[in-house]
Structure 1
Amino acid sequence: MKNKLLIFILLLTLSSVKANTEGTSRSGEIFSVIASSIKDNQAQTITISGIVKDSESGETLPFANVLIKDTNIGTTTNADGYFTLFNVPSQTSIIQVQYLGYETETLVLSPEIVTTTIMVLMRPANDQLDEVTITGSTKQQIVKLNENISQISLSPKELASIPNLGEKDIFRALQLLPGVSGTNESSAGLYVRGGTPDQNLVLLDGFTVYHVDHFYGFFSAFNSDAIKDIQLYKGGFPAEFGGRLSSIMDLTGKVGNSNKLSFSGGVSLLSANATVEIPIGKKANLLIAGRRSYTDIIQSGLYNDIFDLYNDSNVSASGISGNGFQVNETEPSFYFYDLNAKFSYKPTEKDIISVSLYNGEDNLDNSRDNENTFGSRNDEERTINTDIDDLLNWGNLGASLRWARQWNNKFYSNVVGAYSNYFSERNRLNTSTVQSADSTNTSKVGSLEDNTLTDYTLRIHNEYKLNAKHSIEFGGQLTQNDVDYKYTLNDSTTVIEQYDKGLLSTLYIQDNWQPIKALKVLGGVRVSHFDITDEIYYEPRLSASYQLNEQIKLKGAWGEYYQFVNRIVREDVTQGSRDFWLLADDETNPVSSAEHLIFGVSYELDNWLFDVEYFEKDMTGLSEFSLRFQSAIGTDAENQLFFEGTGVSRGVEFLIQKKVGKYTGWLGYTLSEVVHTFPDISDYSFYALHDQRNEFKLVNALKAGRWDLGATWVYGSGKPYTAPNGTYTITLLDGTETQYVSVGDKNGLRLPAYHRLDVSATYNFKLGSGKGSMGLSLFNLYNRKNIWYKEFEVVDDEIIETNVNYIGFTPSVFFNVSF
């Protein structure tokens, strides 16, 4: 840790040598006039404050860029759209405000308005449908690199430009960024810079969402129509955030239209959605957004394509044969839904009180009957009837109560009380009846897997702007986690049962410091106490950027991170994996940690951005759970269920982005590796399951009149997997024969490369006093048979291998309206 920190500080020092040299070359002259100019400078500059809002709905816009034209003076709005600018040159300066999905707004100051709180109203981009506007319209950015290193903003308004599986999807859009894996069709969760989805902290209006997808991972659990702002921190995130090793996803929900009653809705091949925004008087708003699939009523081709990947009866290994083998047709019942509601009340111009609610759930009934008629044994035909009851449901419930106050133009406070509950339950019972001419035998095999995680959080965040060079942020957090996991076989054999309660207490402080014009430094520390381990964890953080000139910026970050609740990977070489959540205890499941080191450089023009970042992440306390017999590297490993290891992730990201114009998009490339070391699983290090050496993403969006056209292409080199290499039989002392599977090198083989082309077209039109859009999206246009994973089955001492593919060419249509 110390070596990396020293390297970071050394490079930071070298990067500022030029500025220091320039600053001292005329030190005598500067010193001689400082005393006489202080009063004049103070008299000539002013401090202004304001708030940024949507001109149509009145929604405040968080994290908007506010700049003084032709100067290096700038800031961003806070979570409630407020901003303060120090050292503004004059009362007639020009302010420019930029926000994703909106036209750039320019405001000329005057002596009359600088003494008040300035209100900046932003106009949504491309919101007019008249022909004159269309002729000159331009496409806005979908994503934007923020000032902090590895921080990216995503515009929910522009998601329609990205091809999808019939649903505008926040997480699928983020998977098109460099450093975020884009080849995981079965997971809407994010694999960020070698991390896993559970190593990402996902916040919605202050409460944590632990399961972020619907339909086994093919769709994000978030309705984009209910989301106002999206911030992704891919690494090196500041001391304000903690509790995860990889990244932060901070989502802000819409407040709703404060000017008029508004409605929007849409339908796709899988689901229907509706949103209503209700102003209540002049100080309150209510937004309700709901989405539900109708797959339990109507099964479209898209639904069948996706569900077939998970229905065990539809995946059979070639080479298995028998007389009269038959699998009856199954009619699974599946649906998902999510509901967002948000009430916001503004009792004064300085205060905001809001209540946010989210509820999302998936339900699957995959019960079925199978009948197998086998050939004769001693001239006797046998029939096996298998009744399978298979019920599965999972989801999230979250809520938050928030109070924020802008005390004055320098001090801001934000207090959040949050509740979150994740649940997952699978109940499976196989009842087999074997019938022959003279006998009937019945056997039952069942399993129950239940996992719940409850989160109670109180969070306080404060911002104090000392002056133009220093802005202090400080606060604290209390989080109580209750985690329960139980895995039972046949109602009597408990494989694992664990219940834990843990209290995490945290304090943090950080300083945004600009010592010279070109250099910005963000330093802080986060200190946490975890009652289960009774240990104190220190997490120092440091990041900096240096503006070489108007176009080129150097940047870097370093930090320590800890995670106290982990999703355990339960791997089975023959049946894939299922995961569950547990609290760290430093015994079976350790507290995990990571050290981030990031360096980068960006070159930005008016319309183009070129960005390169190197990242390295050293991880300890990683956990894996396995029920299968392990090779006896140590005598304690044979009966062990939990395994502890370490990991290293490193790589380089490249981004070339066309930011504005009728055509926008980007080309991203990531070169990386993820290596794990688990001494009790393997006596050598091995590549992680999600390791991928090369990944290319090409994203294209074109505004052509009323049409929005999009195309994306993703390529990823093959991911590793483990395969059995044979079977052997051992005869025990009592004469019983037991068959074992010999497993090859851990993740020693690679799947073929993954690649996919998606295209979409959306037509926008007027609909009375409202607007409408309809479109077509073509997923996997050239029908590439990408392999999801390999499945293995032992039949007559022979290992049968089956490729389980992702979905092929899949068209989808959608229709949306708003009034």
Structure 2
Amino acid sequence: TEVSTLKMTPRKMEQLPGLGEKDILRSFQLMPGISASNESSSGLYVRGGTPDQNLVLYDGFTVYHVDHLYGFFSAFNSNALKDVQLHKGGFESRFGGRLSSVTEITGKDGNQKRFNIGGDLSLLSMNFYAEVPVGKKFTSVLAYRRSYQGALYNAIFEKFNLGGSNAGANEVRPGPGGRQVQDAEVTNYFYDLNGKFSYRVNDKDMISLSFFNGTDKLDNGSALSAPGFGMSGRNFNMNTTDLTRYGNIGSSLKWSRKWNERLYGNTILSYSNYYSDRDRTQERSSVNADDETINTKMGVLETNNLRDYSLKSDYQWDILRGSQFQFGAFSTFYNIEYTYAQNDTSNVLDKHNQAFLSGAYVQSRTKLFGDRLTLIPGIRTSLFSITGKTYTEPRFAATFNISDRLTLKASTGKFFQFVNRVTREDILSGSRDFWLLSDQVNVPVSSAVHYIAGLAYESNDYLFSAEAYFKHIHDITEYSLRFNTSPAGFSYNENFFSGSGVARGIEMLAQKKAGRLNGWVSYTLGEADNKFEVYSDQYFPANQDVTHEFKAVSLYKYKRWDFSATWIFATGRPYTAPSGAYQVTLLDGTTQDFFTVTAKNSVRLPDYHRFDLAVNFKLLKGARGERKRQEIGYIGVSLFNVYNRKNVWYKTFTIEDGSILETNVNYLGLTPNLTLSLRLR
């Protein structure tokens, strides 16, 4: 009934196929308008937008990074979640700071009456949770998940990590020519920890404390020791570091109060920290003819640290029956650092910005003509300290019930984004990205305007809907190293480029909601184009552009068995490739390779398609034949990519003797998983 809004609960996710992990964000990717063809990101590409343009709120605080294990899984433990709402566009004035969409996650409060414990065990991770009530006023829930390096984890790690092989632990073995080889200990894992503590002070006041921590450590380092190396017989040692550590820590303290029968309010104090440390360096030490030890270090060091301190209050006043007035205020302090260095001495890029963002919003929700027409006008204003400017965002949404089953929906609005994840273009080995604060010099404040219209028909058994959207985006930023005009006197800060974008499309859904056999099919026809004058004065396909995407989901229940299947098809995403290579001899006699490139994103990857299957068998407590037996879990088997399709993630290119060698980096092939889920009640 709402414009561009989806809702989902963790219990429904158990039935969907995948890799055996109940994943809320992967589940949303099976819906229309949300891309499902990018296995390397559990972030949501909504209607031509990018994951950083999707505001993710967990009990009121912002989560800036939602990925585990190179993006194959999301960082949210379904055992700690109550429900999730996704606003795909045209969202209300109470949300801000993003251009595309909003994902609103509500944590589970815990069992109010009895102690409960449960968990999941799969070939990838262990997952445990506990719900502990204390008296009649206090509830709590804790959930912890950690991966372990089994066959499934290693298969994903080795497929997605290109730094080298997954070596053994401190193993010393003889190598060719009498050399000794030592492999450094490899430790790769992810974990997440969720908690929520709620205390009902009285009939009017409720206080809750939530926290979240999701962390990945990906280590592919190694060590080489070669005594008597070479003709001189001197010792040679080389340590290769390939360590990436990233994650998000967040917490919120929420006070909810019912001031009277018509006025409600929530005040939230929150903190969020995204961190990413990447060390891909090589340190060598050797002894020369004069018995002097020579140390050299080369490689890349990259650090990104974002801190967010926020305070916001939201109120709702029920003026009359069917009429509400909502208002609130907010303030956030940002502290963001990003450094990109080479050889531990040369800083390619060093950014550190701080800013305050403060503002307020008002909106109303009014029902007219016997609740057939609902109007939601609103406005949001923000003051950004770096620019000293005020940004105004008018919004409007409406739904009209043509009949009991047929609803017409529309919305429009303006949206600003002050914290941006900038894409760093890397032609030879795929793109990377990092978070920066808009500074109006290198990274402008970006904005978007949405126009959405749709029609939905819904009965007790069926749902048919169609929505069309158009988004015009201004001042998006990209960072590229392809335009190095001079080897000397060059400033890397000049490599920030700003442009604009357009996203348009139509999405259709047909769903059977009831019966043993149910599910849905969806189709999205979309286009996402960007224009950066440094590349072209014409629009070109954005990195996330997918023209056609079709999804079919089938669910079947038979006694204690749940069967499910999904099939996904998407046209290939665009990319930029080298078009030629050549070698230049420099004045000192050395040679250097150079390459030319095709037009920006003028080449496309092959089409993507995948078929997944899953079956769950419910476990019941109680004697056979009892009228009511309690479900206490399930045993599940899943098959990911059943027909072993080789879907291309991206391509890498190397230059050898003036020629370009192209390599496909593929996603996972056929991958099985087994899951055991148990709970006390």
Q: Settle same-fold status: TM greater than 0.5.
A: yes
What are the superposed Cα offsets for residues 219-241 of structure 1, whole Å, 9 maximum, x if unpaired? 11000010001000000000010
- Tell me the distance in 2 between the aligned counterparts of 1:803 and 1:382: 40
Please give the secondary structure, in 2, of the residue aligned with 1:158: helix
C-alpha displacement at 1:199, in angstroms? 0.5
Please give the secondary structure, in 2, of the residue aligned with 1:312: coil
2:367 aligned partner = 514
Does structure 1 residue 561 correspond to structure 2 residue 403? no
1:535 aligned partner = 389
C-alpha displacement at 1:198, in angstroms? 0.5
Please give the secondary structure, in 1, of the residue aligned with 2:132: strand
Amino acid at match of 2:144: G
Does structure 1 residue 187 correspond to structure 2 residue 48? no
Counterpart of 2:325 (choices 467, 472, 476) is 472
CA contact (8 A) 1:722 1:743 kept: yes
Larger fraction in helix: 1
Does structure 1 residue 802 correspond to structure 2 residue 663? yes
C-alpha displacement at 1:705, in angstroms? 0.7
1:677 aligned partner = 531
Please give the secondary structure, in 2, of the residue aligned with 1:217: coil
**What are structure 2's unaligned runs of at least 5 residues?**
167-175, 623-629
Residues paired across the two proteins, number: 655
2:134 aligned partner = 280
CA contact (8 A) 1:631 1:681 kept: no
- Tell me the distance in 1 between the aligned counterparts of 2:13 and 2:19: 12
- Tell me the distance in 2 between the aligned counterparts of 1:442 and 1:491: 13
What are the superposed Cα offsets for residues 377-400 of structure 1, whole Å, 9 maximum, x if unpaired? xx9999997531122211111111
Amino acid at match of 1:587: V
C-alpha displacement at 1:265, in angstroms? 0.9
- Tell me the distance in 2 between the aligned counterparts of 1:758 and 1:625: 37
- Tell me the distance in 1 between the aligned counterparts of 2:288 and 2:666: 38
- Tell me the distance in 2 between the aligned counterparts of 1:677 and 1:432: 44
2:274 aligned partner = 422
C-alpha displacement at 1:548, in angstroms? 1.1
Does structure 1 residue 699 correspond to structure 2 residue 560? no
What are the superposed Cα offsets for residues 354-382 of structure 1, whole Å, 9 maximum, x if unpaired? 0111111111221024799xxx9xx9999
Counterpart of 1:792 (choices 634, 653, 665) is 653
1:496 aligned partner = 349
Amino acid at match of 2:646: K
2:162 aligned partner = 311
Normalising to structure 2: TM-score of the pair?
Answer: 0.91
- Tell me the distance in 2 between the aligned counterparts of 1:238 and 1:756: 35
1:450 aligned partner = 303
Amino acid at match of 1:800: L
Counterpart of 1:758 (choices 612, 623, 638) is 612
What are the superposed Cα offsets for residues 216-263 of structure 1, whole Å, 9 maximum, x if unpaired? 101110000100010000000000100000000000000100110001
C-alpha displacement at 1:314, in angstroms? 5.5
1:735–1:222 distance in 2 versus 1, CA, 3 Å: same
C-alpha displacement at 1:407, in angstroms? 2.3
- Tell me the distance in 1 between the aligned counterparts of 2:281 and 2:492: 28
CA contact (8 A) 2:20 2:636 kept: no
1:381–1:807 distance in 2 versus 1, CA, 3 Å: farther
CA contact (8 A) 1:306 1:807 kept: no
Please give the secondary structure, in 2, of the residue aligned with 1:157: helix
1:411 aligned partner = 263
C-alpha displacement at 1:443, in angstroms? 3.5
C-alpha displacement at 1:770, in angstroms? 6.6
For the pair shown, the structure with the greater C-alpha radius of gyration is 1
CA contact (8 A) 1:658 1:664 kept: yes
Write out aligned runs for 1:339-738 (5 A): 339-369=193-223, 386-432=238-284, 443-517=296-370, 518-629=372-483, 640-732=494-586, 737-738=591-592
What are the superposed Cα offsets for residues 737-757 of structure 1, whole Å, 9 maximum, x if unpaired? 433111111111111100000
C-alpha displacement at 1:651, in angstroms? 0.3
Counterpart of 2:146 (choices 292, 300, 304) is 292
C-alpha displacement at 1:307, in angstroms? 3.0
What are the superposed Cα offsets for residues 24-82 of structure 1, whole Å, 9 maximum, x if unpaired? xxxxxxxxxxxxxxxxxxxxxxxxxxxxxxxxxxxxxxxxxxxxxxxxxxxxxxxxxxx
Amino acid at match of 1:304: A
- Tell me the distance in 2 between the aligned counterparts of 1:797 and 1:232: 49
1:216–1:148 distance in 2 versus 1, CA, 3 Å: same
CA contact (8 A) 1:313 1:327 kept: no
- Tell me the distance in 2 between the aligned counterparts of 1:279 and 1:329: 49
C-alpha displacement at 1:294, in angstroms? 1.7
C-alpha displacement at 1:342, in angstroms? 0.8
Does structure 1 residue 199 correspond to structure 2 residue 53? yes
1:640–1:382 distance in 2 versus 1, CA, 3 Å: farther
CA contact (8 A) 1:308 1:314 kept: no
- Tell me the distance in 2 between the aligned counterparts of 1:277 and 1:644: 49
- Tell me the distance in 2 between the aligned counterparts of 1:612 and 1:631: 49
Identity of aligned residues (%): 46
Amino acid at match of 1:308: K
Does structure 1 residue 158 correspond to structure 2 residue 9? no
- Tell me the distance in 1 between the aligned counterparts of 2:520 and 2:184: 43
CA contact (8 A) 1:159 1:173 kept: yes
1:157–1:327 distance in 2 versus 1, CA, 3 Å: farther
Please give the secondary structure, in 1, of the residue aligned with 2:431: strand
1:491–1:350 distance in 2 versus 1, CA, 3 Å: same
Write out aligned runs for 1:251-262 (5 A): 251-262=105-116
1:363–1:273 distance in 2 versus 1, CA, 3 Å: same
CA contact (8 A) 1:629 1:638 kept: no
CA contact (8 A) 2:163 2:220 kept: no
- Tell me the distance in 1 between the aligned counterparts of 2:9 and 2:102: 17
Please give the secondary structure, in 2, of the residue aligned with 1:800: strand
- Tell me the distance in 1 between the aligned counterparts of 2:660 and 2:235: 25
- Tell me the distance in 1 between the aligned counterparts of 2:223 and 2:542: 38
C-alpha displacement at 1:468, in angstroms? 2.1
1:304–1:330 distance in 2 versus 1, CA, 3 Å: farther
CA contact (8 A) 1:398 1:420 kept: yes
Amino acid at match of 1:493: S
1:609–1:492 distance in 2 versus 1, CA, 3 Å: same
C-alpha displacement at 1:331, in angstroms? 6.6
- Tell me the distance in 1 between the aligned counterparts of 2:43 and 2:184: 29
**What are structure 1's unaligned runs of at least 5 residues?**
1-146, 316-322
What are the superposed Cα offsets for residues 452-480 of structure 1, whole Å, 9 maximum, x if unpaired? 11111111000011112421000011011
Normalising to structure 1: TM-score of the pair?
Answer: 0.76
- Tell me the distance in 1 between the aligned counterparts of 2:260 and 2:309: 30
- Tell me the distance in 2 between the aligned counterparts of 1:674 and 1:532: 30
Larger fraction in strand: 2
What are the superposed Cα offsets for residues 514-534 of structure 1, whole Å, 9 maximum, x if unpaired? 232321111000010000110
CA contact (8 A) 2:328 2:362 kept: yes
CA contact (8 A) 1:630 1:637 kept: no
What are the superposed Cα offsets for residues 653-674 of structure 1, whole Å, 9 maximum, x if unpaired? 0000111222221101100011
- Tell me the distance in 1 between the aligned counterparts of 2:556 and 2:494: 55
1:696–1:330 distance in 2 versus 1, CA, 3 Å: farther
Which is further off, 204-213 or 429-438?
429-438
Please give the secondary structure, in 2, of the residue aligned with 1:180: coil
1:310–1:371 distance in 2 versus 1, CA, 3 Å: farther
C-alpha displacement at 1:442, in angstroms? 6.0
What are the superposed Cα offsets for residues 182-236 of structure 1, whole Å, 9 maximum, x if unpaired? 0011100000001100011100110110000111101110000100010000000
2:85 aligned partner = 231
What are the superposed Cα offsets for residues 744-785 of structure 1, whole Å, 9 maximum, x if unpaired? 111111111000000000001124677121110000000000
